[in-house]
Amino acid sequence: MNTLLSFKHHKKSFALIILLVVAFFSSFPWSFYGMNWRDSALYFHLGNRLLHNDFPYRDYVFQVGFIPIIFDAFFQNILGQSYYASLFAAFIVKTTNLLVYYFIFRQFSSQVISVALCSGFALMNSSLVHWSTSYVYLFLSISALFIILGLNKLEKGSSTLSFLYIATSGFSLALVIAARQSNGTLCILVTLGVILIYSLRNPKKYLRTLTTPFITGLLLGLGALVLFLALNQALIPAFQQLFLDASEKKRVGGFAALIDVFLGGIKFDSSIKEVVKVVIIPILLSAIVFRLIQYPTKANSKYNVNLIGILLLPSLLLIGMSISLIGHLINTHNLPTIITSTALLFTYDLPSTFFSFALLGSCIFPKFSQKLLGVPEPIFPLLIALTLGSTWAMQMSWPGRAYLDSVMLMPLTIITILMSSKVPTYWKKSFCLLFLGITVIIFTVSQIGGFSNKGLYGDVRYSLDSPMTKFIQVPKDKAVAFSMLRQNIKPGESCFIYGSAPVLYTLLQCKNPTLVDTTYSDFYTLNDIKKAIASLRENPPEWIISTVGARPIDDTFDGSPDFYGGFNQAAPKELHGFIKEFIKDYQLVSTVRDLFPNGKDLKSKDLDDILDLRLYRYTK
């Protein structure tokens, strides 16, 4: 007996070790290639500011949650003020998320299948990026795990453990607000809606055992966030910047954003072809899948039509992944429309449409998903609510189809297969191994073919002249540009970055006289910019760095409604007009493009467009 228990224990430990090894080697050394000054390094900069007692919302303008900043500061405090501390934070979040998914998969499948699936997800996300959405996925997966555990315990009659698990699920969901407020808000609303529907349908069963613990945990989580912000004197500015200013920054109201989501991101002036591609085809394919699942299969039938219907959605998802890979092999930057459209159809439009109808059916008809797919209720509709809430929120944040996030749709599709009592174990194993095989091929090709970070940035053989970027390799133009900035700007001097490269404030150790760290048009309001302009006038910085992320200084406003991008127009227009006049008191010191007369010959694909960076010195 002891030998058997020991074997099971070692087997479980071995499975987790395999997962950790895959997570590590899928992340390093690929993540040491390149350093995006605009996005990837943002939380390193903000975490460093927190180490120096600058808190978001209170000491600078910010647009999303604070939890990634706290984690980054925590690891910088332990490992030192270096960019690899930020990468390590990203690795911890990635690995934790994989472990949570492992335990979710284990509720419905074997260790082998669970490890295979998690290994596939690790390979799909090989480059480490410490970003707010990573925490969204982590907290949502934790919430999903504990809702599954809680409802399973409830079915077994363990009411105390069930209460604790479901309360933990609600608490974790509340934390999504502190990662990305739009995802948290919509996930809470959709999930609460599903819970209340089930409680109204069967109050005796769900009101005390599901609704009460979930709302208790949710309120505790929200209360903890409010208390933390209040203790840091940031509650009121946080509420202003995260919620009240959101519609101005994004240039879209809540209702208009919801319409955008439910229309698949198409515009009102879209062509019939676009409507058919984005709306009609996903609805028709979803109807076909539902019809196949419901089709009466005869006992002596050669084909199980119901099984074909259930497996059709995940099969198309794998085809979409494969098409995307083939597209990258054909042309990395300019993929043919047919390839991108088909890949998006199978990996985003179809799954989101199918699960939207499945959620609607589960809320209207009792036992809908249980009868149709053989999945447990209310676990299945709650998992859909958590997934679609986040998916819709991401699309709402960028009007149109500029940002379609399928990260949560993929694991939901796989969990659906694993939960289904109508899918034989053989097919579950076959699908999971096929998924792993495809991800291995994608990972291998991306590393050999140059689609990883190293390939993304081009020729990365150079280092930045900073102790904070140890181990990081960058393209030659970025290394030379940073060296030029270091030679001119001394630590402690004042500077203002017009554009988006906030990490330079940290790497150069120069002080920003304003509360605006990045001039992406959706990061600030007109009022924020007016305050920033007043600060610049009162304390002109010694240096101005002009880079990508804002309208070039020399450009002239042409009256176009989207001249300053797809978001906020009034604030960047105000800043642009001011900078055009303000820069007259400055002398151009250097343009990176001038340092590379044959710039076109550079083997660089750096996302920061370093050749356009300019440095100005105050002369008045």
In this prediction, residue 591 carries a pLDDT of 92
In this prediction, residue 260 carries a pLDDT of 64
In this prediction, residue 275 carries a pLDDT of 80
In this prediction, residue 253 carries a pLDDT of 64
H or E stretch covering 588? strand 586-591
Cα separation, 112 vs 350, whole angstroms: 29
In this prediction, residue 336 carries a pLDDT of 66
Nearest to 315 by CA among 336, 337, 292: 292
Q: Which residue bears the tokens 């096929």?
A: 434
Nearest to 589 by CA among 549, 616, 562, 571: 616
Task: Indicate if the pLDDT at residue 368 is higher than 70.
Answer: yes
Q: How far is CA 522 from CA 62, 71, 181, 249, 398, in A?
A: 10, 24, 15, 4, 10
Tens of pLDDT along 3-43? 554 555 566 788 889 999 999 998 887 888 888 898 889 99
Task: Indicate if the pLDDT at residue 571 is higher than 70.
Answer: yes
Task: Indicate if the pLDDT at residue 360 is higher than 80.
Answer: yes
Q: Are 311 and 327 in contact (CB under 8 A)?
A: no
Q: Which long-range contacts (CB under 8 A, 24 or more apart) does 355-361 make?
A: 355/384, 355/387, 355/388, 355/409, 355/412, 356/388, 357/286, 357/290, 358/384, 359/194, 359/384, 359/385, 359/388
Q: Which long-range contacts (CB under 8 A, 24 or more apart) does 343-346 make?
A: 344/320, 344/404, 345/277, 345/281, 345/282, 345/285, 345/320, 346/316, 346/317, 346/319, 346/320
User: What mean pLDDT is predicted for residues 391-399?
Assistant: 82
In this prediction, residue 429 carries a pLDDT of 93
User: What mean pLDDT is predicted for residues 439-468?
Assistant: 77
Task: Indicate if the pLDDT at residue 47 is higher than 70.
Answer: yes
Q: Are 211 and 196 in contact (CB under 8 A)?
A: yes
Cα separation, 513 vs 582, whole angstroms: 15
Ramachandran angles phi, psi of 511, nearest 5°: -100, 130
Tens of pLDDT along 464-475? 989 999 889 998
In this prediction, residue 297 carries a pLDDT of 67
Cα separation, 116 vs 137, whole angstroms: 20
In this prediction, residue 79 carries a pLDDT of 95
In this prediction, residue 272 carries a pLDDT of 81
User: What mean pLDDT is predicted for residues 111-124?
Assistant: 93
Check residues 247 and 467 and name the one with the higher pLDDT. Answer: 467
Instruction: List the beta strands (DSSP E) in 72-188.
Output: none
Q: Are 121 and 411 in contact (CB under 8 A)?
A: yes
User: What mean pLDDT is predicted for residues 368-388?
Assistant: 93
Q: Are 515 and 55 in contact (CB under 8 A)?
A: no
Q: Are 545 and 553 in contact (CB under 8 A)?
A: no
In this prediction, residue 322 carries a pLDDT of 83
Cα separation, 501 vs 519, whole angstroms: 9
Within 10 A of 526 (CB to CB), how many other CB atoms are there? 17
3-state SS assignment for residue 407? coil
Mean residue pLDDT across the chain: 89
Strands 614-618 and 586-591 come out as antiparallel
Within 10 A of 299 (CB to CB), how many other CB atoms are there? 4
Tens of pLDDT along 266-317? 665 567 887 888 889 999 999 999 999 988 766 666 778 888 899 999 999 9
In this prediction, residue 299 carries a pLDDT of 61
In this prediction, residue 132 carries a pLDDT of 94
Which DSSP category does 611 fall into? G
Check residues 374 and 341 and name the one with the higher pLDDT. Answer: 374
Q: Are 188 and 207 in contact (CB under 8 A)?
A: no
Tens of pLDDT along 536-547? 999 999 999 999
Tens of pLDDT along 157-201? 888 899 999 999 999 999 999 999 999 999 999 999 999 999 999
Q: Which residue bears the tokens 């979040």?
A: 93
